[in-house]
Structure 1
Amino acid sequence: MKRLTSSLTRKLWLTIIAAIVVTILYSYFLSYFFYEKLYVENVETALLEEGRRLALEYEGGPLSDDLKERIDWYSSKSETEIFIVNNPRELSACLPFDIDYESLISGEEREDLLAGKAVQKLGYEERFDRKIMAVVIPLLDENRLEGIIYLYIPLTKISEVTTDFAYLWLIAAILFLVLAIFLGTFLVRKLTKPLLEMKHAAGMVSKGDYSVRINNHSKDEVGQLALAFNHMATSIQKEDERKKEFLANVSHELRTPVSYVKGYSNALLTGIANSEDASKHLMLIYREAGRMERLVGDLLDLSRLDSDDYQIIMHPLPLAQLIEDAIQKYLPKIKEKNLQFRYELDPDIIINGDEGRLEQVLQNILDNAICYTEKGSIHLKLFAIEKGCCIEIVDSGIGIPADHLDKIKQRFYRVNKARTRKDGGTGLGLAIAEQLVILHGGSLIINSTIGKGTTIQIHLPVLE
């Protein structure tokens, strides 16, 4: 649990810290962007406009003293340092900082000046401890460079631009950090708590406690995972209970015939039974061996039906003929019990099915109908319905109580809780029959009234 907590918590906190760092870096680069794009570009634009307005004062010819005085006067009133000189080489003597002429005006820039283009300069000056933005405006007379107007201004540092907001920025940063820690802690706990519960619950399930459930009602992926886990635990619990019940039922079903076989065979081996009783004992042993054989056969059928690789061999079948052949095997038993039996079969119904498995379904149902009907009647019909065909077997037997109908198809389920075997089989017949019908794409429906009889309908698709 600690490993999960530390690992997941570490990952989440690393994610949160990474988000904070990215946010801070984004804010820094955004501030730098605004500084470069807004402040610096605005200063450059303002210098160019200011220089061009001053250049309009020049009327041609050599620079007059009057023009120089007016430019100097304007410079004294402006925040911008402005110089007007006859030759760019004179700038080195005018500027308050050392500069080489070649670095001030390059040959290419001189060509631009001669073409009447303004030159923009941006560089760092140690004396001012900041960058310098400068603009050189040419003064031309008939394509002759008579002079230049040089404007420059030290750029304000970005830290100076944001001085007024520094304290507010610091307070906002602290609040943001506190909020991030608070929300991060809440988020980490909210995300890890259900996962830790799932880990604990999974451990309980692995130890055999299938009753554990996770109380998580969120609608996100974690909540869906918790819901899926609860469904899984419920399914495992039901399957475990079903397995235990199945094993208990198998043990119960085998215990009595095994005890009979052991007891009567012991009587024969020790010579306790006389010759007349020996014959009866052998008959009882034979009967119980047959019961165990049927039980094992039914269990094998169920095991195969539960496996994913179970296959049935489907081919077109005239269903009426299959039913009539199956009925012939039961006519002696029906006559022996003196039951009234009649059947009505539609000979035109053709289905796609496994002959052997469908015959097994009929045998299981007819066995029950004959077994639980005394001095009554059995009526079997095959007829077409809207979406296929229906095999209907109606008996006038003892019937099934209403509260047992929804359980009668469960494995080993018997209405008679005493599990009397004189009139019952293995308790697996209907379970096997329903599985086989489902594999054929059909359904098995049971309706019954206690004391009046039972009606079983098998709905199957037909070939068109």
Structure 2
Amino acid sequence: MIYKWRTLSFKLWLTIISAIILSVLFAYSLSQYYYKNLYVEKLKTDLVNEASLLGADYSGGEISADFKQKVEWFNSKNDSEVFVVNNPRELSACLPFEINYDTLISEEERQMLLDGKAVEKEGYEKRFEKNIVAAIIPLIDENRLEGIIYTYIPVDSITVLFKEFAAKWLAAVLLFLIVAILFTTKWLKKLVRPIKEIETAAHRVSEGDYDIQVEVRSQDEIGKLAIAFNDMANSIHLEEERKKEFLENVAHELRTPLSYVKGYTQAILDGVVKNDGEQRKYLQLISREALRLQRLVGDLMDLSKMESAPFLLNKTPIAYAQFIEDVLVKYEPIIKEKQLGLKLDLDPDPIIFGDEGRMEQILHNILDNAIQYTDSGGAIHITLIQHKDDCELLVTDTGNGIPEADLPYIMNRFYRVNKARSRFDGGSGLGLSIVKKLVELQNGKIEIESREKRGTTVRVILPNINEEWNS
């Protein structure tokens, strides 16, 4: 049982929702910070501008009643509090407590005002018993501070505005989170559905259902994963079919010679054979079938070794042309018996660094195929060419050739061109795959060109001994 919190969909959902919540909280904190700071700074600037406009009407000397009246009129029409301060008596007429500019400003601020600079203030003001944002403009006559214009707004009003903003923000955020959670849940279900389908399909493949295919709904990573899974399922299916066919081939190849061996042996034991000539014939048949069994078992063992563990080769310098001629001596009787023409065009210079036993196995397999699939009266041409870094062996026959559809798979394991069940047609499908592996183990490569009913050319390219040692 898989707990829901362990599933990929839940982890993705939790990650996305957490990211959304953190983003909202960060945006809210950032907006509060900038909103308050920008708002307060703009407020200070507006207060300075207001006071400066009023101060522009001051023409010097004592602050006149007319000027004070203008300020009072402006104060009555404005949201901020604005007043003029020059001495306690005049100020007490408009405020419920005694105040003058010496109690509203510090000595440092007084000096700034004497220099003609505006003073901006923010925080708690003891005289007003409030948190305020304020601006002070000097009224100067002949370097003497005659008074100040003091304008301020209580911070409480700003706090109310922030609370309204926060309430609306939180309501919008709550709605956004609900929509985001619903959308994310729906989107993740759609996103994870193909993965769950792949998981289900993988279980079915593990149970032997190789025909299953996952629907490809997109071209993104998940879509590519679905394509890769389908390719894998097809490959496994093909491999299983080849193994099944291989086992059938092996069973057939074993059954046929075993039945011959058993039959001929039983005939000898039962006394069916009446003379020495017939007995020798039966023994020759038994020997032939035993040899077929030996070769089949040998191929199976070689394939098993090459696939299960590092396959070590006993490499030595080989004079390639002489080696080929020595191998061909063993084929002279069968070539004459089948009346095949043999043409050799061997460059004597190539020397390779290879395993003699495995090289002989490579040549035997290639020559066996060339002889087996070339009709009587045909010809086999063997060419060895020296190149700068490697040498090229070509074995060309005029035999049946390989169908174009089979050519790409001819060196695959378990592959047989001839699907018929004749014991005389083709081998187990292991020969060329073993040859390919042996050539690659000796740092070479093998290529096959063929045209049906026109013949086949097998090309084996191996590095020269100097090139092999340098690598």
Report the TM-score when normalising by structure 1. 0.78
Deviation at 1:323, TM superposition (A): 1.4
1:418 aligns with 2:389: no
Q: Write the letter of the residue equivalent to 1:419.
A: S
Q: For 1:260-296, what per-residue CA distance to the aligned partner results, in whole angstroms no more than 9, with x for missing partners?
A: 4455566777888778476666544443332222111
Distance of 1:241 and 1:447 partners within structure 2: 25
Which amino acid is the alignment partner of residue 359 of structure 1?
Answer: E
Give 1:3 deviation, angstroms: 4.5
Which residue is equivalent to 2:52?
52
Distance 1:392 1:79, change over 3 A: closer
Structure 1 residue 426, shift from structure 2 partner: 5.1
Corresponding residue for residue 458 of structure 2: 457
**2:345 partner amino acid:** E
Contact 1:341/1:377 (<8 A) preserved: no
Cα offset for 1:193? 0.7
Task: Please say if residues 400 and 415 of structure 1, whose CA atoms lie closer than 8 Å, have aligned partners that are also in contact.
Answer: no
User: Partners in 2 of 1:177 and 1:195 — Cα distance?
Assistant: 27
Shift, 1:213, TM fit: 1.5
Question: Which residue is 1:433 aligned to?
Answer: 435
**3-state secondary structure, aligned to 1:157:** helix
Cα deviations across residues 343-393 of structure 1 (Å, max 9, x unaligned)? 222334455654443332221222234445565253333154999655444
- Tell me how far apart the structure 2 counterparts of residues 275 and 247 of structure 1 sit (CA, whole Å): 39
- Distance 1:436-1:92 versus aligned 2 partners, 3 A rule: farther
Q: How does 1:117-128 map to 2 (within 5 A)?
A: 117-123=117-123
Secondary structure at 2:7 match in 1: helix
Q: Distance in 2 between matches of 1:43 and 1:373?
A: 102
Identify the match of residue 450 of structure 2 among 437, 447, 458: 447
Q: Is the 8 A contact 1:201 1:213 kept in 2?
A: yes
Unaligned runs of 5+ in 2: none
Bigger mean CA deviation after superposition, 98-107 or 177-186: 98-107
Corresponding residue number in structure 1 for 2:239 = 239
Q: Work out the CA distance in 2 between the residues paired with 1:125 and 1:164.
A: 26
What stretches of structure 1 of length at least 5 have no aligned partner? Answer: none
* Contact 1:139 1:147 (8 Å CA) reproduced: yes
**3-state SS, counterpart of residue 137 of structure 2:** strand
- 1:283-302 paired onto structure 2 within 5 Å: 283-302=284-303
Indicate the residue corresponding to 1:149 in structure 2.
149
For 1:365, the equivalent position in structure 2 comes to 366
Q: Please give the per-residue CA displacement for 1:118-138, whole angstroms capped at 9, x wherever unaligned.
A: 332223689x99853222233
Q: Secondary structure at the match of 2:381?
A: strand
How far apart, in 1, do the equivalents of 2:254 and 2:99 lie? Answer: 112
Do the aligned partners of residues 412 and 240 (structure 1) sit closer, same or farther apart at CA in structure 2, a change above 3 Å counting?
Answer: closer
C-alpha distance in 2 between matches for 1:363 and 1:313: 18
Q: Distance in 1 between matches of 2:102 and 2:86?
A: 17
Task: Quote the offset at 1:394 in angstroms.
Answer: 4.4
Task: Give the secondary structure class of the aligned counterpart of 1:381.
Answer: strand
Q: Report which stretch shifted further, 146-155 or 412-421.
A: 412-421
- Structure 1 distance, partners of 2:397, 2:17, is 77
Structure 1 residues 107 and 259: alpha-carbon distance in aligned structure 2, compared to 1, 3 A threshold = farther
- SS of structure 1 residue aligned to 2:217: coil
Q: Is the 8 A contact 1:378 1:393 kept in 2?
A: no
Distance 1:234 1:414 in 2: 20
Distance of aligned partners of 1:218 and 1:386 in 2 relative to their CA distance in 1, 3 Å threshold:
farther
Q: CA deviation at 1:228?
A: 1.6
Aligned residue type for 1:417: A
Q: Contact conserved, 1:134 with 1:151, CA < 8 A, in 2?
A: yes
Q: Distance in 2 between matches of 1:235 and 1:460?
A: 29
Tell me, in whole angstroms, the C-alpha distance in 1 between the residues paired with 2:67 and 2:356: 119
Aligned-partner SS, 2:421: coil
> What is the root-mean-square deviation in Å for CA atoms of aligned residues?
4.6
TM-score by length of 2: 0.77
Q: Which stretch shifts more, 142-151 or 320-329?
A: 142-151
Distance 1:323 1:27 in 2: 81
In 2, distance between residues paired with 1:56 and 1:218? 71
Match of residue 209 from structure 1: 209
Partner amino acid, structure 2, of 1:135: A
How many residue pairs end up in the alignment? 459
Alignment of 1:137-216 (within 5 A): 137-141=137-141, 144-154=144-154, 156-157=157-158, 160=161, 176=176, 179-216=179-216
